[in-house]
């Protein structure tokens, strides 16, 4: 009988408790999992779902929900797991600006930030889910147009339910920082 090895990714998330964990049977391949997100509202993350995505042999994906904070921790290399075993900063690798962490010496805490992740909602919505001066999304209707969906297909998705993951997810995060890309997306 094979034992499972479980890794606790994060001990506590304020107000929630245990966040997420992963279990693997010894000898099971763990190099096929990736960080990802989709543009569907979810119970844990608001308007974007963050996940660890593992492609399965039958073409489907295994999805393990994580929080936005978990995504930033894993992508920044703060925690080494099967999705980032070398602990490299994937935001730096894929040139995603304004994402990462810093050490707050006043409160002795690690602070996470990612303005680009906070703008993902604009790919799906027309207007202000958050309100304020930056409350306009990049779609013309209540959902992305067929032209916008065709642009998103270049990042490995066919519908809003699909997950952007791995290199495709980070390429999208990198590209959507460009005003030229934003204009092209808004114009299709």
Answer yes or no: is pLDDT of 21 > 50. Answer: no
Q: What is the largest CA-CA distance in the chain?
A: 58
Candidates 16, 24, 26; CA nearest to 67 is: 16
Neighbours of 85 (CB within 10 A): 11
Binning pLDDT at 50, 70 and 90, where does residue 133 land? low
Answer yes or no: is pLDDT of 33 > 90. Answer: yes
Q: In the predicted model, what is the mean pLDDT of residues 98-121?
A: 86
Q: In the predicted model, what is the mean pLDDT of residues 111-116?
A: 89
Q: Please indicate whether residue 79 or residue 90 has the higher confidence score (pLDDT).
A: 90
CA-CA distance, 92 to 75, in Å (whole number)? 9
**For residue 124, what are the contacts with CB-CB under 8 A and spacing of at least 6?**
39, 47, 137, 139, 143, 144, 160
Per-residue DSSP letter, 4: P
CA-CA distance, 79 to 118, in Å (whole number)? 21
Q: What is the pLDDT of residue 134?
A: 64
Question: Looking at the chain, how many residues does it have?
Answer: 188
Q: pTM of this prediction? A: 0.79
Q: Please indicate whether residue 23 or residue 162 has the higher confidence score (pLDDT).
A: 162
Answer yes or no: is pLDDT of 132 > 60. Answer: no
Answer yes or no: is pLDDT of 172 > 70. Answer: yes
CA-CA distance, 72 to 177, in Å (whole number)? 17
Binning pLDDT at 50, 70 and 90, where does residue 10 land? very low
Average pLDDT, the chain: 81
């Amino acid at each position: 009988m094979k034992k499972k090895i479980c890794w606790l990714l994060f001990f506590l998330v304020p107000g929630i408790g245990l966040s997420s964990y992963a279990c693997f049977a010894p000898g099971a391949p763990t190099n096929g999992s990736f960080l990802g997100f989709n543009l569907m509202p979810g119970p844990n993350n608001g308007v974007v779902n963050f996940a660890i995505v593992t492609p399965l042999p039958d073409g489907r994906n295994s999805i393990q929900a994580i929080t936005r904070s978990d995504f930033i921790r894993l992508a920044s290399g703060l925690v080494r797991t099967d999705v980032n075993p070398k602990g490299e900063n994937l935001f730096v690798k894929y040139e995603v600006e304004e994402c990462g962490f810093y050490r707050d010496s006043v409160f002795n805490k690690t602070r996470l930030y990612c303005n680009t992740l906070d703008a993902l909602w604009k790919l799906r919505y027309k207007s202000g889910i958050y309100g304020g001066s930056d409350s306009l999304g990049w779609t013309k209707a209540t959902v992305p147009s067929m032209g916008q969906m065709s642009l998103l297909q270049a990042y490995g998705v066919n519908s809003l339910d699909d997950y952007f993951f791995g290199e495709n997810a980070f390429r999208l995060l990198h590209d959507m920082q460009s005003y030229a890309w934003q204009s092209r997306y808004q114009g299709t």
